[in-house]
């Protein structure tokens, strides 16, 4: 599964975004070490607080299926049919990713399969608080 394919799956998942309040549609595709892909979209709520981001939808789907090891995630977000800028995971999603993913886990933000940028989790969440802190 190369990055372009993963981005295509994120863009596909984005079509299911339920975002009537922000109109900001996000899709994510998460690759496991075993080669499986779990996708997700953002799901908003009239009470706003219960809204879940695309990244957490994908991760929670995977974890609930028994997955624990991950390689990379592709994310695509924006208001228009085609994203017009890079969207990176919010702080809460970075923290949730850090629970299961190592420093080298790759986060790809894409506007298209041909146009993306890549960061590691440790770049996006340096000096993070994680399971190791609790011994």
Residue of 5, 55, 69, 99 marked active site: 55
| In the complex, minimum distance from the CB of residue 59 to ligand THU, in angstroms, rounded to a whole number | 11
Residue 11 as a binder of ligand THU (CB under 6 A): the answer is no
Dist. CA 10–CA 12, nearest whole Å = 5
Q: Which residues pair with 76 in a beta bridge?
A: 27
Residue 110 lies near ligand THU (rule: CB under 6 A): no
Q: Are strands 106-112 and 70-78 parallel, antiparallel or unpaired?
A: parallel
75-104 mask for ligand THU (x: CB under 6 A)? --x-----------xx--x-----------
Enumerate the active-site residues.
Answer: 55
């Amino acid at each position: 599964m190369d990055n372009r394919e993963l981005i295509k799956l994120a863009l596909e998942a984005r079509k299911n975004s339920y975002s009537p309040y922000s109109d900001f549609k996000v899709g994510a595709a998460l690759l496991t070490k075993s080669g499986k892909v779990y996708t997700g979209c953002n799901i908003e709520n009239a009470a706003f607080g219960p809204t879940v981001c695309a990244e957490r939808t994908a991760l929670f789907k995977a974890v609930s299926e028994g997955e624990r090891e991950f390689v990379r995630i592709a994310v695509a977000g924006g208001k228009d049919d085609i994203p017009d800028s890079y969207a990176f995971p919010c702080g809460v999603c970075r923290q949730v990713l850090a629970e299961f993913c190592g420093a080298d886990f790759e986060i790809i933000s894409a506007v298209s399969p041909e146009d993306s940028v890549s960061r590691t989790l440790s770049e996006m969440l340096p000096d993070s608080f994680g399971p190791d802190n609790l011994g």
